[in-house]
Amino acid sequence: MFSRSLQWRLVFIIVAITFVLMSVVWVFLNYKVEDIFYNDFKKSISDNYATLNINEQMTSEELLIRFKEDPVILSQFISSIKSYTLIKDETFEILYSSDIWYLEDEIGFRNEILKSRNLMVVISGEGEGKGKYLTKTAKGDFYDYVIRQTLVDGDYILFFKYDRSQALSIISEFSQVIISGMIIAVAVTIAIGVLLSKTITKPIVDIIHKAENITSGDFGQVLEVKSDDEIGKLTRTFNYMESQLKNMLLELSNEKNKFEMIINYMTDGIIAFNRDGFIIHINSAALSVLEMEQCSLTFSGIMQRLGLNHDLSDILKNKNFADISENVRIKDKFFRVQFASFTDKENNVEGLITVLQDYTEEQKLDNMRKEFVANVSHELKTPLTSIKSYAETLLDGALEDEEIARNFLEVIYSESNRMDRLVKDLLLLSKHDSGIKLNLTRISPINLVNSVVSRMRMSADEKNQQLSVIELDKAPDINGDEDRLEQLLFNVIGNAVKYTPENGTIVVYVGKNDTSAYIKVVDTGIGIPRKDLDRIFERFYRVDKARSRQMGGTGLGLSIASEIAKSHGGTIKAESEPNNGTTITIILPGIIEEIQEQ
Ligand code: ADP
């Protein structure tokens, strides 16, 4: 923890610096104190010696008297620290010494001072005894200063001794002061270091916490920038990075949501598998194709369910697997199954996407188209065959018989009329299919119904049917193409007349339903069986083909009516009970302003 925390490392560095600095000061002071004492010792000798005026005409006794009388020597060199000793050079006999040690132990003193390098140099005549050498003895270490003096009575050596103990005691006092100073300094430095490093490490620790929170998805508040230094800049940059990251994540998650929404609302089923064949995404369309609420199947399970036997690794190995397209049938629905791969950044295949495309509608349309062509051919073939055979019979001689010829020609005429009607109806449907352009005018539904009914009356009268119009409410005017709407009513009311036996009743009700107008054609005819009710608006659908043909129907009347209603934004529906009659209801949107004025 100690070495890992930046704060403690900083504290340690500061303390170490303080410690090193104090130690250097300590060593320097030690050296300096000793130096000062030694220099003072040396200077006091050299300065004084000159003033003592010692010369070669003096005897050793006179020299000693001078020494003993000199106030400086008296005050300084007769102590336990400093002393002087006069030694006869030839015999090395100590004539006098002010040293206490000498007074206590003459021989011991003599032996110890002989260890002095300066003294040895002077004795041997190899140089001057003025070097700074420390001589170590049992009674303490000393420095010395040696002068050779020639006097009338011979050569003498003056041995000045300075005991180091005084300097040492001062140094030890210094050391105590310095050590306690050092302890205080270290304690203060630790305190300052902790505070100082906290100002550095606190924002960094904050950033670390924040970064940890961001990693777990919690962005929270921005960090407070407390200073303008590098740490402040780091915090500011971190905040900026955080906001950028947040925006980027938001953008990414929006993109992801959008993508998921698109995938989920797609009508095509999408299933994404990883390389091991496990599902990583499946949309609701795919789930409904598989008739499942949740899917835990693997690739092979899904293939099995679709009735295919593809192997994932085989597909991924196949370079052209995007070309694989399979058609499958699930219940009454048809699906096209296609495959596509998705890759990672290095273009390695990460997995496979399976697309299930519902082409039931397409298939239905295709079937309807085929059925339509077959129906048209069949409808045209029947009258054509009879026209052809009647014409042939006429050519073969029937022309001679005027009555037969007339009958045959009437058949030919009626068959060609049927073909004409059929072709006209087909053309009309084709116009609707390719988007008919309506010639819109304001139309009153009741007027429209009355006009059609009055023209149908003759046919109804022929069958002794009662055909009437009842206006239940005032229906709103409609915006429509009069010719087309008339055609619609002709087809519907015409059917009612056609499929209602003699003496039947046909009532056309006109009214309003909210903002729409409705027209209800109610007959007491043969009715339509329940199973056929939904299909009568299909092209060529007839409940009873023979009866329809006999009535001159093409099987297109109601599909045309339905197309016209649709092109006006309306609807048409049928209700019926076999043998009890049929009700066809047409609802057309009314003109809204008109209703508000009412
Ligand atoms: P068609 O030319 O055969 O009349 P439509 O498209 O007009 O063709 O009608 C389709 C079929 O619906 C008819 O063949 C008939 O069987 C049935 N149908 C239509 N209207 C009525 C009705 N009012 N009563 C009974 N059956 C009807």
Alpha carbon nearest to ligand 1 atom 11, residue: 542
Phi, psi of 574 (to 5 degrees): -120, 140
Q: Which atom of ligand 1 is nearest to the CA of 558?
A: 6
Tell me which CATH code domain 266-358 carries: 3.30.450.20
Q: Which atom of ligand 1 is nearest to the CA of 581?
A: 24
* CB of 497 closer than 6 angstroms to any ligand 1 atom: no
* CB of 524 closer than 6 angstroms to any ligand 1 atom: no
d(CA 336, CA 308): 12
* CB of 554 closer than 6 angstroms to any ligand 1 atom: yes
Asked if 528 and 543 count as a contact pair (C-beta separation under 8 A), the reply is yes
Where are the chain's structural domains? Answer: 53-163, 226-265, 266-358, 363-431, 437-597
Q: Which atom of ligand 1 is nearest to the CA of 491?
A: 7
pLDDT at 593 (0 to 100): 65
Full pLDDT tens readout for the chain, 598 residues: 455 677 788 888 888 888 898 889 888 888 888 888 889 888 888 888 888 888 888 898 888 888 888 888 777 777 778 889 999 988 888 989 888 888 888 888 888 888 899 998 888 888 888 888 989 888 888 999 999 889 998 899 999 998 888 778 888 888 888 888 888 888 888 888 888 777 777 888 888 888 888 888 887 778 888 778 888 888 888 889 888 988 998 899 999 999 888 888 888 999 999 989 999 999 989 998 888 888 888 999 999 988 988 888 888 887 677 778 889 998 889 999 999 888 888 888 888 999 999 999 899 889 888 988 888 898 889 889 999 999 999 999 888 888 999 999 999 999 999 899 999 999 988 888 888 889 999 999 999 999 999 999 999 999 999 999 999 999 999 999 999 999 999 999 999 999 999 999 999 999 998 899 999 999 999 999 999 998 999 988 888 888 887 887 888 999 999 999 999 999 999 999 999 999 999 999 999 764 444 4
pLDDT at 44 (0 to 100): 84
d(CA 211, CA 223): 11
* CB of 521 closer than 6 angstroms to any ligand 1 atom: no
pLDDT at 4 (0 to 100): 63
Alpha carbon nearest to ligand 1 atom 25, residue: 527
Question: Kind of pairing, strands 466-471 and 505-513?
Answer: parallel
Helix/strand/coil for 362: helix
* CB of 496 closer than 6 angstroms to any ligand 1 atom: yes
Choosing from 519, 531, 536, 572 the residue with most ligand 1 atoms within 8 A of its CB, the one to mutate for a pocket test is 536
Q: Which atom of ligand 1 is nearest to the CA of 559?
A: 6
* CB of 135 closer than 6 angstroms to any ligand 1 atom: no
- Could you say which architecture CATH assigns to the domain 53-163? 2-Layer Sandwich (3.30)
d(CA 294, CA 283): 10
Q: In terms of DSSP H, where are the helices of 396-544?
A: 402-433, 445-462, 482-498, 530-533
Q: Which atom of ligand 1 is nearest to the CA of 548?
A: 3
CA 49 to ligand 1 centroid distance, Å:
157
Which residues, in sequence order, are CB contacts of 128 under 8 Å at separation 6+? 121, 122, 146
Choosing from 558, 579, 584 the residue with most ligand 1 atoms within 8 A of its CB, the one to mutate for a pocket test is 558
Helix/strand/coil for 105: coil
Q: Which two tokens stand for residue 169?
A: 């005691």
pLDDT at 585 (0 to 100): 97
d(CA 196, CA 549): 107
Asked if 219 and 242 count as a contact pair (C-beta separation under 8 A), the reply is yes
pLDDT at 595 (0 to 100): 46
* CB of 484 closer than 6 angstroms to any ligand 1 atom: no
d(CA 581, CA 252): 63
Q: In terms of DSSP H, where are the helices of 266-359?
A: 284-290, 299-306, 312-317
pLDDT at 576 (0 to 100): 95
List, in sequence order, every residue forming a beta bridge with 349; answer none if it has no partner.
Answer: 343
Q: Which helix (H) or strand (E) holds 561?
A: helix 557-567
CA 449 to ligand 1 centroid distance, Å:
20
Domain 363-431 has CATH 3.40.50.2300: no
Q: Do domains 53-163 and 266-358 have the same CATH topology?
A: yes
d(CA 249, CA 252): 5
Ramachandran class of 584: left when φ > 0, alpha when ψ lies in -120 to 50, beta otherwise: beta
d(CA 116, CA 137): 10
* C-alpha neighbours within 13 Å on the C-beta side of residue 430: 10
Q: Which candidate, 343, 344, 356, 352, places its Cα nearest to that of 278?
A: 352
CA 409 to ligand 1 centroid distance, Å:
29
d(CA 452, CA 446): 10
Q: Which two tokens stand for residue 464?
A: 């002794």
Asked if 583 and 522 count as a contact pair (C-beta separation under 8 A), the reply is yes
Q: Which two tokens stand for residue 325?
A: 């397209």
Is 0.75 topped by the overall pTM? Answer: no
DSSP string, 114-167: TT-HHHHHHHHTSS-B-----B--TT--EEEEEEEEEETTEEEEEEEEEETHHH
Tell me which CATH code domain 437-597 carries: 3.30.565.10
Q: Which candidate, 490, 488, 445, 497, places its Cα nearest to that of 466?
A: 497
Q: Which residue has the tokens 């994404």?
A: 272
* C-alpha neighbours within 13 Å on the C-beta side of residue 238: 23
Q: Which two tokens stand for residue 389?
A: 């055979």
